[in-house]
Amino acid sequence: MKLEHEHFRQALQGSAFLGRMESLSNTENWASWNGYKVPRVVDKLSTEYFAVRSGCAVMDLTPMEKYRIRGAGARAFLDRLVTRDLAKLRPGRVSYVIWCNDEGKVIDDGTVFQLGEQDYRLCAQHHQLDWLLTSAVGFEVTIEVETHAVPALAVQGPTSCSVLQQAGLEGIETLKPFDVKELRLAGAPVLVSRTGYTGDLGYELWFQPEHALAGWDAIFAVQGLYDIHAMGLDALEMVRIEAGFIMPGFDFNCAESTVRAGHDRTPDEVGLGWLVQADKGHFTGRQAILAARKKPLQRLLSKLVVEGNKPVGEAFVYAGKDGKQVGEVKCTTWSPVLKANLALADIECQRGELPADLWARFDYQRELKWHTAWARCRAQNQPFYQPQHRGLTPPAPY
């Protein structure tokens, strides 16, 4: 038997852009993302963060799970799979979606790209092939894994449109949020979507493998005219929390990997109830979600502003400083642009509502000595950071 892909000989795969990333790396701070070697920090965390918020940052998006879904039953299959009504999705558009198991618990979130009639791409954080194939029984549809075949870059930040225009990507300024269109970069076709995971102006570029490096080089050839930096996972974590974006498997347990009963979550419990459009007809988990909505909400993944400037880290949340423990902080960051401690926390509700008086209790270290601190928390529904320039079409020129 001949093995075409001997992945067992290499612990982590390298994307088409790994060599370029390695040449820029001053930290050798690497991580594994879906089996790929990717940087946590390329140069400096502060530099990469501010590149997103005040310049242009480029991140390797290749490890994102990507599935091509085609066939006469592709639309019907996707409408059955996800909770959102896809009736308004059309070629050249992208939709943010979630999908659940039969118990109405969230499996993952992702984006659906409609590339043509009955031709879609589904991007997800985690491996979903098994669930997709099981859900596709009875539908006239083919599902192909494209993760390794489609190198991708996220180009994000206020100057991202100007950078890509200067790199030669003509027509990008016409893309509205969640548009996707085939353009040309470095003399080759590239699929460009106005999407991202940073909460800022940004684009994602989906390449054919043979054109990937030429695309990277065209973007970084603009360096000097604009401030462009490669970005790692640590800066992405900061900006996605500022944007209020959740990460399945980190902020809450994905349903298909949860071991103990009661540790998985419904869409309402992770703050994504707005993606459930029950009147569209049947989809997986619909009856369970509707049944759960007849009862008071039990828990909520909440956005918290935590008073003070001490690093919160892992923390418990209490209803009152001397009250009952009602939750845990799942992720947190200090926001340099907002000058605030931000967190996402899983909190027990009281009669369907969050407790009015929330406090975080956390430990921090100062000169090798540990201290316990309390900080008042303020819950909010809106993203922490939502700049106006993010939604402008055409974006402001720089």
Burial of 289 (0-12, 13-18, 19+ CB in 10 A): buried
Residues of the chain short of pLDDT 70, as ranges, are 1-9
- Both 140 and 153 in one domain: the answer is no
Is 6 within the bounds of a domain?
no
Quote the Cα angle for 129-131-136, to 5°: 95
Burial of 261 (0-12, 13-18, 19+ CB in 10 A): exposed
For residue 2, what pLDDT is reported?
Answer: 46
Sheet harboring 180-185: ordered strands across?
Answer: 180-185, 188-193, 202-206, 152-156, 56-60, 228-230
Query: For position 356, which CATH number holds?
Result: 2.40.30.110
Is 2 within the bounds of a domain?
no
- Both 101 and 168 in one domain: the answer is no
- Both 180 and 78 in one domain: the answer is no
For residue 3, what pLDDT is reported?
Answer: 47
For residue 8, what pLDDT is reported?
Answer: 60
8 Å CB contact between 362 and 309:
no
Structural domain span for residue 369: 296-385
Q: Which residues pair with 93 in a beta bridge?
A: 114, 179
Q: Which of 106, 130, 145 is the last residue of a domain?
A: 145
Is 135 within the bounds of a domain?
yes
8 Å CB contact between 86 and 79:
yes
Which residues, 6 or more positions from 295, have their beta carbon under 8 angstroms from its beta carbon?
none
- Both 26 and 138 in one domain: the answer is no
Is 88 within the bounds of a domain?
yes
For residue 311, what pLDDT is reported?
Answer: 86
Q: Which of 200, 218, 242 is the last residue of a domain?
A: 242
* Domain total of the chain: 3
- Both 32 and 79 in one domain: the answer is no
- Both 209 and 99 in one domain: the answer is no
For residue 6, what pLDDT is reported?
Answer: 56
Query: For position 57, which CATH number holds?
Result: 3.30.1360.120
- Both 229 and 190 in one domain: the answer is yes
Query: For position 84, which CATH number holds?
Result: 3.30.70.1400
Q: Which of 114, 145, 176 is the last residue of a domain?
A: 145
Question: CB neighbours (10 Å) of residue 148?
Answer: 17
